[in-house]
A and B are shown apart, each in its own frame.
Chain A
């Protein structure tokens, strides 16, 4: 079913592009006898006439592993990508299509990734709706998520694609109600949209079944919840702005977004999950402070006795960011995950399995410096867990050669004392990358 939908969307997208270029070219032909007319001008006037906006970029990106990884290729990313973004509106609705076509040397194939395809309506003054494929984000963490249960693409994040790709699209309906007292967002996903998780295909990881690192030698088999309207997800956010302090309450009913257990056939599964949480964000002193917490109720393992399914957890984060010098900002976050039924987990863990700590503490630091009239951006984002004893460092330097052209270089470096911890397991995936992008 999903394949059919994907193909339909791809066809629609291609048709729009074809129509756009086709009719522009047709117009061009008619004008050839007069004077040479720039194709670009013709496209622009056509788009304007039909209230269409066409944007996008072309990009080439190359990255290599800095260490040998016996389970993966040396190239971590090598692709060229074209993104097209078409939007239009009528008196009553707005439409948007955004899709990426890319050729990849790691998978040795061509791919199409429909990022967005939605219709947005405001049927009543106090009601907005958005239906279709869309990117959804909420919550207050910086590259840490507690109540944002929308799909993430960890693979793209770790191999050094643009941060835009950390968010994977949802096929959902979003309804937003706006009131004097508070606002309510309701997102219904009729069929579970999981994360683009680490499967072994591109990144090696610690495979707890094998009790060792694995990658392409043992790509994860999954048993996904995939029944329409039965394996569905509901996300709710109730929020209010009080003197520019943003207060929000969240609820989620669905599944663990990445594999969080195993069935008796040895397949990775996505057990039931409910999340309840809240957050607050606002200015403190010279900077911005935020706090967020969430209770992860692992509905298929509430007692914590099943070692094959994730335990329930309490998650909390607190963050603060401030400009510390001219065009230089720093952001610090503290984050903790606490297992709720740790005793039961320990008691039932099969011998030989590496046990998690009851608490996973994490500290993140973001440093961003702008130089050369803000055309050069040097950034560093670091995750450090004192309990897992692992580190993930993301340096990035981006230079805008012109308004359209930019080059970028960066790295994803993982260290850890143990090979089973969250970041430590990716040590052999440490990579450097570079990219060039032309936006239009």
Chain B
């Protein structure tokens, strides 16, 4: 079975932001900054990353989406010589315990065939001291498996998305500074506090100045060489929520890309507490269709 990383699923909430914020604080800041933003532009880096976090991960109280991942590896990326292509398809249901706080995810796999009907469930905790709780249901054995927490910089289901790209890093793990303010974007530079725990030297995030949607991230190694990029390539407004419906990761070292496409996105649906063992064993209709 693929390594299924936890929060990863936040992906569905429009992933590519690595800016993560302390939950409660973010909520407070949300109301405070709402009043300010009409008049003057915010230049406090903490406020910017908080707003981007809420934008990327906490739209509505819950949500549902169908995700399709296309993983392409190249024998020669410049010449676009494709080595192999793999597909992943799954439905995701999300429910927020608190805005900016804990969340629950339910992922029902549809493709490829060998993982069809498997279910991955996460109870995500924002407290950095507490690991997420994760379960996997294997239907052919009727087995509910508990999965140990993992290194957050590993691949999700064999794709180029890493657990942390989409779950977000704790704000405390990086030093943030505004590198540049362009006509459209705040460009935030993030330098890790503990460089030995990550493979990058630093990364930059492009945050839309109007919507606060993070739209691009670029990762650089210790020698300032760009080796990884995540871009939101299509944004749609669904209901009242701007939503990244297409995003692409490019790993220049591995010569590999992953395109993530979301469809059938819905927010604030009627959803019971399906994040329990009962529904692992008997997936709800909302998850199957």
* Residues of A in contact with B (beta carbons under 8 Å apart): 55, 57, 89, 120, 122, 128, 134-138, 163-164, 166-167, 176, 178, 183, 239, 241, 244, 246, 281-283, 286-288, 290, 321-323, 326-327, 329, 370, 373-375, 400, 402-404, 406, 437, 439-440
Contacts and interface: CB of A to CB of B under 8 A. Distances in A.
Nearest to A126: B278
Interface in B120-135: 123, 131, 133
Interface residues of B, number: 37
B146 A403 contact: no
Nearest to A440: B113
B142 A134 contact: yes
A128 B282 contact: yes
A288 B114 CA distance: 25
Nearest to A98: B140
Interface stretch (B46-54, B55-63, B151-159, B223-231): B151-159
A288 B140 contact: no
B33 interface: no
Contacts of A404: 112-113
B236 interface: no
Contacts of A241: 276-277
Interface of B: 2-3, 71, 73, 84, 86-87, 111-114, 116, 123, 131, 133, 140-144, 146-151, 153-155, 157-158, 256, 276-278, 282, 285
A362 B79 CA distance: 56
Contacts of B86: 375, 402-403
Contacts of B140: 135, 164
Nearest to B125: A244
Contacts of A282: 146
B112 A439 contact: yes
A57 B256 CA distance: 29
B158 A373 contact: yes
A36 to B, nearest CB: 25
Contacts of B143: 137
Contacts of B150: 323, 329
Contact of B151 (A120, A288, A323): A323
A120 B113 CA distance: 23
A321 B282 contact: no
A88 to B, nearest CB: 12
Nearest to B158: A374
A279 to B, nearest CB: 12
B103 to A, nearest CB: 14
A166 B142 CA distance: 12
A282 B140 CA distance: 23
A321 B148 contact: yes
B281 to A, nearest CB: 8
A163 B114 CA distance: 13
Given A374-B158, A403-B111, A167 B142 contact: yes
A402 B84 CA distance: 8
Of A321, A403, A406, most B-chain CB atoms within 10 Å: A403
B141 A137 contact: yes
B133 A164 contact: no
A283 B84 CA distance: 38
B155 to A, nearest CB: 6
Given A373-B71, A404-B113, A166 B141 contact: yes
A57 B131 contact: no
Contacts of A439: 112-114
Given A402-B84, A404-B113, A286 B148 contact: yes
A374 B141 contact: no
17 contacts: A57-B114, A89-B285, A120-B282, A135-B142, A138-B144, A283-B146, A283-B148, A283-B149, A286-B149, A290-B146, A326-B153, A327-B154, A373-B256, A374-B2, A400-B114, A439-B112, A439-B113
B278 A183 contact: yes
A121 to B, nearest CB: 10
B217 to A, nearest CB: 21
Q: Sorted from nearest, which 4 A-B pairs have the closest CB atoms?
A: A439-B113, A403-B112, A374-B158, A137-B142
A128 B151 CA distance: 37
A370 to B, nearest CB: 6
A141 B86 CA distance: 33
Contact of A281 (B3, B73, B123, B146): B146
Contacts of A89: 285
Contact of B113 (A166, A176, A283, A403): A403
Nearest to A170: B142
A163 B153 CA distance: 29
B149 A374 contact: no
Contacts of B277: 183, 239, 241, 246
Nearest to A128: B282
B148 A135 contact: no
A283 B133 contact: yes
B275 to A, nearest CB: 11
Contacts of A122: 282
Contacts of A375: 86, 158
Contact of B141 (A120, A135, A406): A135
B114 A244 contact: no
A403 B154 CA distance: 20
Contacts of B256: 373
